[in-house]
Structure 1
């Protein structure tokens, strides 16, 4: 099997090339059951499991600390929603299985490219460095 190597903030992630076989019709999370929905720019539910995109940090929405963080956070959330609905993807393991909140840590790939990297390229997220930093001024 041909392997694609994807560089991440955590080093190198190896994922099968053209193995994008996961997909769903994502909604924006609201009240009620969370099956396949987007919480914010770096967190979503997939098949009733909460996933934290491991290679990025997006602006906070719950709660945002300032108006610019809220606007940026909403834009990141909308882009992640569009990207997840754009076609099949792969969930690759990160440096550890879950974070302290129980969210599964995964790198989301499409055609071997990090969806987190796409958010970074759009300036709607930044690489995850292991510590939260503010998004206000």
Structure 2
């Protein structure tokens, strides 16, 4: 089993979805209609989700989610509801959502403005990583 490179602490996942030509807005609408973000919040303790659509129809749709830990993100990745949602999402994507590469994970190292990890949010310990990929306190 591969050891995780992300320690417990706030992380951000970024899922890049390539829509069928001209279908970026339809894909974003499908994500909203299926309440993908709401399901992640309710079922996997996700802090919040944003869906970013391209200014032109040729770009990818990005699903950005904030998690308190990598374990919470993994819980969502393993949730069977994702397989139930995939066929409806696949109508709007250039690739099968379940066969597409998994989300990229990032340590949350700095936040400015009104983000999900501000003082009003429950406290979390930030994670940091050095260039070798190892994480530390």
What's the TM-score, normalizing by structure 2? 0.29
Q: Considering only CA atoms, is the larger Rg found in Structure 1 or Structure 2?
A: 2
What's the TM-score, normalizing by structure 1? 0.29
- Larger fraction in strand: 1
